[in-house]
Every structure is written in C-alpha cells, then in structure tokens.
Structure 1
Amino acid sequence: MLQNLTGWHALLILAVVVLIFGAAKLPALARSVGQSVRILKDESKTDADQPSPTP
C-alpha cells in the first residue's frame, strides 16, 4: 500500500497535517507520538523477555 508513495505525496500529507493541526501544535504532536512509540517498544521488549505460561 505504501510502496507507491513519492516525495510529492509526503509533502502533500505534511501540508494537510500542518493545516489541520497548525504549526504551533506540531512539536507537541511529534513528542507524544515519540513517547507512544517508546512505550510500545518497551512493552514488546518486556513481553518477549518473559516466558509464556503453559496451560
């Protein structure tokens, strides 16, 4: 699905995001996305470290 995206598509998506959220809110939005990704990685890492219980 994402194989056909070009640089122009990315610029268009970025422009739409800036219009929707406004330039002032973008740093906070990026920070919250980064925190969410970090939490997801940490949780998946701890799940992989713990052995699964056998029924």
Structure 2
Amino acid sequence: MLGNAFSGWHLIAILVVILLLFGATRLPALSKSLGQSMRIFKNETRAMKEENAADKADAPGPADPGYQAGSTNPSEHPKP
C-alpha cells in the first residue's frame, strides 16, 4: 500500500528532514531507545501469550471430571 506512495526520493527527503530536526548527535540515542522499547514490547507480548496459553491449559474442559456443561459459575469447577 505504501510502496506505491513513496519512491526512493521521498524516503531520502524524509531522512534529511529527520536529520535536520534531531541532529546527527541525537540519532544514535534515539535509535537505541527505540530498539530497547521494541525489545521490551516483544518480550511482554511473548510473556502474555505464554500466560494465556497456560491459563487455557489449566481451564476445565469436557475431559475434566469436574466439568459441568453449561455451567457459568467458576465455583462449580473444582481446581486441581
């Protein structure tokens, strides 16, 4: 979608404007900060997925002897 909107010259112009706004000395710090933020976000989403998968594995299902079909009350489902 954006591949048709931007050509090489557009990207170069954007990079020049960014360089003028932030200066060459602050760009490495900004890129390092962005990389750390992305790494933290990636680790947190991975942890949430693992936690969600563990919760699904612990949830009672039809194979669970304490499972009662149609019950919405969690107290009716004994925890192992």
Q: Same fold by TM-score, threshold 0.5 exceeded?
A: yes
RCO higher in structure (CA 8 A, sep ≥6): 1
Q: How large is the RMSD of aligned CA atoms in angstroms? A: 2.0
Amino acid at match of 2:26: K
Secondary structure in 2 aligned to 1:50? helix
Relative to its length, the structure with more helix (as a share) is: 1
Note the residue ranges of structure 1 that are not aligned, 5 or more in a row: none
CA distance in 2, matches of 1:50, 1:36: 21
TM-score, normalising length from structure 1?
A: 0.82
**Any unmatched runs of 5+ in structure 2?**
60-73, 75-80
Distance (Å, rounded) in 1 between the aligned partners of 2:21 and 2:44: 31
Structure of higher CA gyration radius: 2
Q: Which runs of 4+ in 1 moved over 4 A?
A: 52-55
Q: Percent identity?
A: 45
